[in-house]
Amino acid sequence: MGKYPIAEDELMTPGHLACQGCGATQAMRYALKALGQKTIVVMPACCWSVIDGPFPHTSLKVPIFHTAFETAGSVASGVKAGLEMRGDSETTVLAWAGDGGTFDIGLQALSGAAERNEDIVYCCYDNEAYMNTGIQRSSATPPGAWTTTTPRGDRKRRPKKKIIEILAAHGIPYIATASVAYPNDLIAKFQKAKGIRGTKFIHVFAPCPTGWKSAPELTVKLARLAVESRLFPLLEVENGHYKLNKDIPQKPVREYLSLQGRFSDMTEEEIQRLERDIDEFWQSLLIKENSGGLLPGITS
């Protein structure tokens, strides 16, 4: 294990309000290390609008535009347009939304921005529920999980929305998944996104000890296990071409589940169904990769 090829500069400062072991905070730190000082963050309601700190304070050394829950895609488009009008084509506009603001509430604005192929990086840091409002289920919450709105006895049954497929259907130039357990990979993907014109969507898996009922020290381990178990495969979709990271040896999903209180009620039958779903999803990704891209891409 060598040193990480990571920028020394910290664009996120300590003192922020994230819970102990917050994966979303790691994600922000790495993303800004990748994108650098010339970045504007557009942030709808999400954990991070709290983490950043109360006015007039901020934890980031780059500008943040706090905006309404459903508007990350549209405000980011507007900020980018404003910058271009002022002749600034250098600054990266980073829409930074949680799974609620992406999968549910902000999906329309995101879809609009992606359809127009706005030149923005849209990052969804996914902690699989509405965490800062009290752990309510979102369409990113996985089946079998406990949340305060899917309590014991009535846990979530519906599958997690396949957001990558939705974005792929827009034909945008770059889509990637990344995990806080693999900072080098995550940073490389943000840097790649920075160099592409058009809409870039990066889906970052960011464990939440508070909402997942897991020990804070396990954040990185859980993120790693999610990738290893193929629950959250690392992949890229470039101009419609799927590229799946197949270098990571597969591990059973059970250890991942067993380390989180939110899955403690899962039955053997549910676990086996989840294992089947994981395999089927993986197979479907392999087919897409081998077909050389089922969807028409946009070349910019």
User: Residue numbers of the site for another protein (CB under 8 A)?
Assistant: 1-4, 6, 10, 12-18, 20-23, 25-26, 29, 52-53, 55-59, 61, 64, 183, 209, 215-221, 224
CB of 160 vs another protein, minimal distance in Å: 24
Q: Give CA–CA dist 177/78, Å, rounded.
A: 25
Question: Judged by CB, which is closer to another protein: 255, or 279?
Answer: 255
Least distance (Å) from another protein to the CB of residue 3?
Answer: 5
Report the distance separating Cα 300 and Cα 284, nearest Å: 27
Q: Report which of 240, 253, 258, 259 is spatially closest to residue 279, judged by C-alpha positions.
A: 253
Q: Which residues pair with 203 in a beta bridge?
A: 124, 177
* Residue that is written with structure tokens 């889906």 in the block: 203
Q: How far apart are CA 177 and CA 205, in angstroms?
A: 8
CB of 125 to another protein, least distance (A): 12
* Least CB distance to another protein at residue 22 (A): 5
- The letter for the amino acid at 110 is L
DSSP 161: P
**Residue number with CB closer to another protein (216 or 297):** 216
Q: Which amino acid is at 103?
A: F
Nearer to another protein, 15 or 153 (CB): 15
Kindly tell me which of 5 and 87 has the beta carbon lying closer to another protein.
5
Task: Give whichever of 23 and 73 is closer to another protein, judged by the CB atom.
Answer: 23
Which residue, 58 or 117, has its beta carbon nearer to another protein? 58
- Tell me the closest approach of the beta carbon of residue 240 to another protein, in angstroms: 33
In whole angstroms, the minimum distance from the beta carbon of 222 to another protein comes to 10
- Pair of tokens at residue 113: 């921005």
H/E segment holding residue 211: helix 209-212
CB 244 → another protein: shortest distance, Å? 20
Task: Report which of 105, 32, 38 is spatially closest to residue 73, judged by C-alpha positions.
Answer: 105
How many angstroms separate the CA atoms of 187 and 30, rounded?
Answer: 6
Q: Are 180 and 220 in contact (CB under 8 A)?
A: yes
C-beta closer to another protein: residue 4 or 151: 4
Report the C-alpha gap between 69 and 142 in whole angstroms: 22
Instruction: Name the strand (E) or helix (H) holding 269.
Output: helix 268-290
> Using CA atoms, how far apart are residues 31 and 12, in angstroms rounded to an integer?
10
